Structure 1
Amino acid sequence: MKRLGTTLAGLLAGVSPLVAQAQTTAPQQQPSNSPAQAPAQESDPYTDEIVVTSSAPRGAVQSDIPPEIQLNQADIRAYAVSSVADLLNELAPQTGSGRGSGRPVVLLNGRRISSFAEIRDLPTEAIERVDILAEEVALKFGYSADQRVVNFVLRERFRALTTELEAGAPTEGGNSTQQVQADILKINRDRRVNLDVKYQGNSALLESERNVLPTIGDGSGVNQAPYRTLVAPSQDLNINGSYARDLNAKLGATINGTLEVQQSEALRGLALSQVAAPLALPTDPSPLTASSRTITAHLGTTLNGDGLPWGNAWSWSIVGNYDRTSSNTITDRGFDAAGAARPADRGESTSNVGGVDALLRGPLFKLPAGDVSTSLRLGGSLSSFDSTAFRGGQPSDASLSRNIASSQLNIDLPIASRRRDVLQPLGDLTINGNVAVQHLSDFGTLTTTGYGVNWSPLKPVRLIASWTDTEDAPTTGQLGNPVIASPNTRVFDYRTGQTVTVTTITGGNPLLQAEKRHVMKLGLELRPSEKTDLSFRADYVTTRIRNDIASLPAVTAPVEAAFPDRFVRDADGDLVSIDNRAVNFAENNTQQLRWGFNLSVPIKSSLEKKIAALRAQREAERAAAIAGGKPLPPEGRAGLFGQQPGQNGQPGRPPFGGSLFGPPPAPPTGATPGGGGGFRGGRGGFGGPNGALAGRMQFSLYHTWYFKNQIKIRDGVPILDLLNGDAAGNNGGQPAHQIDAQAGFTKNGVGIRLGYKWQSSTTVFTGLNNTDRLNFGDLGTFNLRVFADLGRQIKLVREHRWLRGTRVSLGVSNLLNTRQRVTDQTGVVPVNYQPDLLDPTGRAVTLSIRKLFF
């Protein structure tokens, strides 16, 4: 007990000056379920005093739609991930959209950024708060309303060198992965400097290293398994740097540059089927290889400003980007009948895209219910795409260019407001309208129109309805990518019910047309209690796409009838080649409901409980002293435990020099307390629900239910019903149900996280008369990760200070080594659906060691 009291005394003595100063200069983080506009409550965990302020949190998104989810520093620490990109991946269930788009729109401190590369490698310790907002908020920043918005708010001061080593391998062996990363970040209020270097490597996994039925050639008896890769070896080197600073009080600028080099080489087996005389082959035949190398360079810049001549409430931003991507592929074609090597197919492409756009945001005029706000985006871009393909020694070239001028206008009109007492029985009601126009040099003028309603009839309830009509052109890559033929590719021929080895053709299709998309969304958000971090969300979305641009579907009889020129069969009816280049479907219709909830519960650390117990003991001693007329105990937190006696006649001092790791340095003039790294970096000190040692229990569950998924390929061709026996790919039909769940528990820097993904079974009818079928079983996989933040183990760090900022994580993906089971009508597993072909890696274990140098 004496040692415990001494430890706590030093701890409290070290952090109390920072906590006391933070109470007067820095607002406490609001609970993660509180709207950004709500008043914030500040509280010191060691006193009963509460200070109420009405200012919005720093970096909040100015919008009539509050965040659906807010994560504070303790919430973020509970995920135990390394970078902004890793955190966004962990938040995929919460940031997913029923509209089918990919990564959400990302903001930084409530402002636009040039691209995600600008912040993707920042360590999570530099994040103060994360806000997740609805898709409709994207309209206010000049984006389309098909992506959720994630706003990352960084701490005002932070500096660290972050290093990480990661290695992984499947439990069944065969290959391995490696990752090495180093990141330097310094944030000093108006300046941010970041440089990140990352290398990732992946070794090859051969068919012979898994339980895969051997592929036999044309009677020669050669087993091709040692010459085919299930996982191609690859390497990826990425260098990313950014610099940001405020040019004055109302203007900030950022520049970002990245360079990435990727390369891989896959083995595709032996070319025996192309050789008329196998004896002419070399004694040790070489497998066919398909190698690729891609170099990507990016340069982005952003200007963000506050205030315009006609109003200080307006803000503006200018974003510029330039991207250059060069790609080279080489695909072997084997030997001719005489045994001579055929010339390899080669594909080369270079893409250049440069663009700039400007955004104005602000209030137009006032109505009784609030300001009528608008955002106007104007932009333009120039792009070129050049490709050269060599097939059979014959060259073919494609050169495309596209110039785009675009504009988008969004207006929000408030109708009712509880706070302003305008039509109060309606609650808060805002209507929205938006229009976007694009003029493409090769496709003419395309338009997007939309409107919506944002209604909160009661404070815990919010309803959002929106309708959008969009015209989209195919990308220059979809139009002009080099045509590449890949031999020895396994596919399942639904028409014959057999697994066959064919040549697949990929590349651009210059005949693609623009697609037209109509989307309706009805959304519900519910927060039952302000005291509990619990939120429910449900989105019902219907989508109809005309001239849908998609890759060629699976080899079914209706698809082959609609695109007969894309399939080549020999005289026996066996499939020889498939042209998989993108096509236009006449129409695509989907209806789905996505609903789920998030729950986060604070957990007191062991230190907090000990502090509370000692505080209660001190109060009891004070009460007893007052009742007995005795002198009161010494005041102050250090006095609660006493001071260590001085040595050699020196005065006494707080234990451990006033803090856990020595006395804190004096902050610069105007500095905000709590801005450094490590323990001293979090507002609220060690204690409280958001303190450095605070824990969390988190749970999220999202269920997607598909009611309709139909594709009309062409007029006169039967409609493909992906929920009832048809398929658009080789992975079965559309699962009617999908579940994505996460659970996590962390306390005292030690935690565990468990993820679960599940999809229901599907059935696909095969054969010319749909007399046969393939049954795709349901699939559920668990991912487990345990971690220990050694820097938060007080006793351990006291004895080994070099462990400060160190975290060790052990992850297991596909914990139960589950693979989907696919069988035909007789219960037999087709060759192409062997478990080790569907998921070659299976269960894999990853160990990572991460160290921050503050």
Structure 2
Amino acid sequence: MKRLGTTLAGLLAGVSPLAAQAQTTTPMQQAGGRPAQTQPAAPVQEDPYTDEIVVTASEPRGAVKGDIPPEIQLNQADIRAYAVSSVADLLNELAPQTGSARGSGRPVVLLNGRRISSFAEIRDLPTEAIERVDILPEEVALKFGYSADQRVVNFVLRERFRALTTELEGGVPTEGGNSTQEVQADILKINRDRRVNLDVKYQGTSALLESERNVQATFNDGSGVNQAPYRTLVAPSQDLTVNGSYARNLSEKVGATVNGTLEVQQSEALRGLALSQSAAPLALTAEPSPLTASSRTITSHFGTTLNGDELPWSNSWSWSLTGNYDRVESKTITDRGFDSLGAARPADRGNSTSNTGTVDALLRGPLFKLPAGDVSTSLRIGGSLSGFDSTAFRNGLTTDASLSRNIGSSQLNIDLPIASRRRDVLQPLGDLTINGNVAVQHLSDFGTLTTTGYGVNWSPFKPVRLLASWTDAEDAPSTSQLGGPVVASPNTRVFDYRTGQTVTITTITGGNPALQAEKRHVMKLGLELRPSEKTDLSIRADYVTSRIRNDIATFPAATAAIEAAFPDRFVRDPDGDLVSIDNRAVNFAENNTQQLRWGFNLSVPIKSSLEKKIAAMRAQREKERADAIAAGKPLPAEGQARLFGQGQNGQRPPFGGSLFGPPPAPPAGAAPGGGGQGGGAARARGGFGGPNGALAGRLQFSLYHTWYFKNQIKIRDGVPILDLLHGDAAGNAGGQPAHQIDAQAGFTKDGVGMRLGFKWQSSTSVYTGLNNTNQLNFGDLGTFNLRVFADLGRQFKLVRAHPWLRGTRVSLGVTNLLNSRQRVTDQTGAVPLNYQPDLLDPTGRAVTLSIRKLFF
């Protein structure tokens, strides 16, 4: 019991330096770097050990300024409950909350309320360095010069942090066959305005052969040879990444960041044994050599960012300047087998080099005042230079392509407040702001493209917010879509919807110089609800309609309708068997979708067992103190040691006074205990107690449902419209599921927890055959992912016996917990060869063990 008391005293002592730091935090620090003149705090006359909480700041540090508050806000306790290693891992875990119904990819990422040059600046930072995460709707992206089709995630870092993070991870499928490995080391030091980070990561995957799964090997190659031992379901690959960044303030009002990344990826897939051109079997040697398709990609990146909080004419304006240079070198080698005489054909080769340099400048601030608030604007001006060179060697012929593109762009966004509850302007309307934006791009190879949009942000009363936006945009194909090297991949299996058979063919990929720019019209109606301020529950619904003309898309599945629309993309032999498909990107005449995405996010704090013991000790301490004061006696020496953060014999308490690293040193002259206001401030920012403290646990739920009402593609005039919800397909995975669900649940307490994820999609059916007389049925699919973890640093008895376990976390994960695979059948109930379960999901259920340690 005495040892437990010493441990608890050490935890209590960890609050003292935090309190001293909070007490001396300046308004400049709270506002994210902007200086302010304040009067020094008056001496505290109350009892120095009071638990009174005094809150003086209304806007958290690093917040995104504007009229749209975060939909979801995660504090340190919420972040710890996810038990992930890096910012990138956390963003992946938050995919259901950060997904956009407008169909874009990753969200816009900000750091401390400011722009960054690229996600590489912060992706490898350990999650322990994050103080808060704000998730905001797509409309906020306009305020930072981005398009309104990505949600915004703002990461706010702790003011001080220092750690070396190491992690080892290995995984294997429960059915065996291959394995994955990952080794990572990261060094991070944050000291207010300075940040240094270096991360090195290696990832590897071993090969998984068809012979190591239950794959039926009867295909139309005509050789009679079992190809399973010479074909990979999962290609072996290796990936090495080195990423570093350095940030500091150049002055009180200007901060700078530089970032550099180098990544090398390589893989080699086996495509079966070589056949003669007539598909006659070849004599097999003692060690037959299968066809291979190898690739190697080297990616280098350099980025820099300048952020300022003032302009010469106003201290209410902010600005940012970002610059990036990216170079990607890619090489592919694909074996072609033998000709009709048995002679080896030369391998196809494809080389490409892409160079892109971009510069963006952004100004943000108020233009003038209206009764309802400031009319704010953001102006972005940017430019880029890009070049794409490729060389392809195919069928003995060499073709070269060299494309360049220069872009000048600008974007203007204006927010106009109409009504305000706080300012008592048209109060019955609540808070109402309208928005307008316009963007112009001039491309050297496509001319001038424009984007226009407008929207409404309306909160009729506090728990409800309505967001509506309309956007008309023009987008050009990328240089790689236009000029990528043409690569032929033999021995590729596809399902021929026209004949209802699985066939082995040659597929062709690469650039299509005939692609045109697309035009998009998107409407979004959004609703946000926060039923209670006392409950961390948020509800969100977005209805989106989209119409895209000249839609740029990957080539769709080999259906009869697609072949009729693009006959030159298909080659068949005299018997009607499919020989090859040209899969290069195409323009569809029109693509129309309508969907509703709705869901909720709930987080419930859980008081830890240790926190309850600390509360009991605090109550006992207060009783002893009150009795001593009433009797006119001084505080007991043990009580003073406990309060002032000293262990037995004046030594520092166990664990350094903090669960997550050494606490910041108190400023010179600060009182050891911090005082009443400081203690309250420490608890308001986290501390060890309360729902947001270092010891707090979490019970978390989230569920998001996407419901597609319409998904139709008009290939071109005179061709029937493809209805992906009712019998048509635009890919080999079938039609568009009408319903998709993404759900998560998590529980953590006392450093031990679990997370369960669930994804489900409804079934679809696709008509096959020349006259749509047959049918292919894709069953619904639901998968569970489970992860359990233990923070060994929170297991105090264990750490007292083995101090080196401090900062160690062990995680055990199981993906596809029930080993579920989609079932695909034809009209007779048979499973087509190309839709065998082990071909659709070769890995199946896999188990991953991770050991992670922080050295403070």
TM-score range, shorter chain: over 0.9
Task: Name the residue aligned to 2:816.
Answer: 814
Would the aligned equivalents of 1:306 and 1:314 in 2 still touch at CA under 8 Å? yes
Q: Following the alignment from structure 1 to structure 2, what is the Cα–Cα distance between the partners of residues 480 and 423?
A: 56
Contact 1:621 1:633 survives alignment (8 Å): no
What do the CA deviations read for 1:689-718 (whole angstroms, capped 9, x no partner)?
A: 222221111110000000000000011111
2:570 counterpart (548, 567, 572): 567
Q: CA deviation at 1:637?
A: 8.7
Counterpart code for 2:851 = I
Deviation at 1:122, TM superposition (A): 0.5
1:797 aligns with 2:799: yes
Alignment of 1:206-605 (within 5 A): 206-215=209-218, 218-272=221-275, 274-275=277-278, 278-279=281-282, 282=285, 284-605=287-608
- Counterpart position of 2:832: 830
Amino acid at match of 2:635: P
Q: Which residue of 2 aligns with 1:7?
A: 7
Answer 1 or 2: higher relative contact order, Cα 8 Å, separation at least 6: 2
CA distance 1:622–1:185, change in 2 (3 Å): closer
Q: Is 2:16–2:645's contact at 8 Å kept on the other side of the alignment?
A: no
**Post-superposition CA distance 1:730-771 (Å, at most 9, x none):** 101100000000000001111100000000001111111111
Measure, in 2, the Cα distance between the counterparts of 1:545 and 1:260. 35
Matches within 5 A, 1:681-700: 683-700=685-702
How many Å apart are 1:6 and its aligned residue? Answer: 3.9
> Structure 1 stretch 52-61 or stretch 453-462: which is displaced more?
52-61
1:50 aligns to what SS in structure 2?
A: coil
- Is 1:634 matched with 2:635? yes
CA contact (8 A) 1:782 1:816 kept: yes
SS at structure 2 position matched to 1:307: coil
Instruction: Name the % identity.
Output: 85
The structure-2 alpha-carbon separation of the partners of 1:463 and 1:160, relative to structure 1 and needing over 3 Å to count, comes to same
Taking structure 1 as reference, are residues 208 and 570 closer, same or farther at Cα in structure 2, changes over 3 Å only? same
Classify the secondary structure of the residue corresponding to 1:100: coil
1:214 and 1:225 in contact (8 A); partners too? yes
Kindly state the Cα deviation for residue 392 of structure 1 after the two structures are TM-superposed. Answer: 1.0
Provide the rounded CA distance (Å) in 1 between the counterparts of 2:161 and 2:672. 11
Q: 1:35: which partner in 2? A: none
* 3-state SS of paired residue (1:589): strand
Could you tell me how far 1:560 is from its partner in structure 2? 0.6
Contact 1:45 1:688 in 2 (8 A): no
Distance of aligned partners of 1:673 and 1:105 in 2 relative to their CA distance in 1, 3 Å threshold: farther
- Comparing 251-260 with 332-341, greater Cα deviation is found at 332-341
Which residue does the alignment assign to 2:98?
Answer: 95
Partner amino acid, structure 2, of 1:634: L
Aligned residue in 2 for 1:739: 741
Task: Check the 8 A contact 2:515/2:552 in 1, yes or no.
Answer: yes
Q: Which amino acid aligns with 2:832?
A: P
* Counterpart among 134, 139, 163 of residue 136 in structure 1: 139
Instruction: Name the structure 2 match of 1:40.
Output: none
Give SS of 2:811's match: strand
Contact kept in structure 1, 2:275 and 2:282, CA below 8 Å: no
What is the distance in 2 between the residues matched to 1:396 and 1:519?
Answer: 39
User: Could you say which residue in structure 2 is the equivalent of 1:204?
Assistant: 207
C-alpha distance in structure 1 between counterparts of 2:709 and 2:658, whole Å: 58
Matches of 1:756 and 1:487 in 2, distance apart? Answer: 37
> What does 1:602-641 correspond to in 2, within 5 Å?
602-617=605-620, 634=635, 638-639=639-640
TM-score, reference length from structure 1: 0.93
User: Residue 628 of structure 2 contacts residue 635 of structure 2 at CA under 8 Å; is this kept in 1?
Assistant: no
Residue 845 of structure 1: CA displacement? 0.4
Please identify, of 107-116 and 269-278, the stretch whose mean Cα deviation from structure 2 is larger: 269-278
Residues 28-58 of structure 1: CA distance to partner in whole angstroms, max 9, x if unpaired? 9xxxxxxxxxxxxxxx999552212243111
| 1:750–1:788 Cα contact (<8 Å) kept | yes
Q: Deviations over 1:580-627 (max 9, x none)?
A: 10000000000000000000011111111112233445566778899x
1:10 CA drift (Å):
4.0
How far, CA to CA, are the matches of 2:156 and 2:646 in structure 1?
44
Change beyond 3 A, Cα 1:741–1:665: closer
Amino acid at match of 1:853: F
Q: Which residue of 2 aligns with 1:703?
A: 705
Secondary structure class of the residue paired with 1:138? helix
Structure-2 separation of matches of 1:759 and 1:400: 41
Aligned partner of 2:43 in structure 1 is none
- SS of the residue aligned with 1:107? strand
Is 2:58 aligned against 1:58?
A: no
Aligned equivalents of 2:553, 2:82: Cα separation in 1: 36
- Is there any run of 5+ residues in structure 2 with no aligned partner, and where? 28-46, 674-681
Equivalent residue number for residue 17 of structure 1 = 16
In structure 2, distance between residues paired with 1:254 and 1:672: 36
Match of 1:111 in 2: 114
Q: Which runs of 5+ in 1 are unaligned?
A: 29-43, 675-679
What is the CA-CA distance between 1:19 and the residue it aligns to? 4.5
SS at match of 2:507: strand
Which digits, 9 at most, give the CA deviation of each residue in 1:11-33, with x for residues without a partner? 32x324225424523599xxxxx
1:176 counterpart = 2:179: yes
Pair 1:774 & 2:776 matched: yes
CA distance in 2, matches of 1:427, 1:446: 37
The letter for the 1-side match of 2:418 is: I
Change in Cα spacing, 1:618 to 1:196, as seen in structure 2 (3 Å) is: closer
Which residue of structure 1 lines up, in the alignment, with residue 34 of structure 2?
none
- C-alpha distance 807-503 of structure 1, shift in aligned 2 (>3 A): same
- Taking structure 2 as the reference length, the TM-score comes to 0.93
Which digits, 9 at most, give the CA deviation of each residue in 1:500-533, with x for residues without a partner? 1111000000000000000000000000011110
Tell me how far apart the structure 1 counterparts of residues 683 and 242 of structure 2 sit (CA, whole Å).
27
User: Tell me, what secondary structure is at the counterpart of 2:14?
Assistant: helix
Q: Which residue of 1 aligns with 2:32?
A: none
Question: CA 1:428 to 1:46, structure 2 compared with 1: closer, same or farther past 3 Å?
Answer: farther
8 Å contact from structure 2 (residues 276, 340) kept in 1: no
Count of residue pairs brought into register by the alignment: 828
Provide the C-alpha distance between the structure 2 equivalents of 1:121 and 1:673, rounded to a whole number of angstroms. Answer: 36
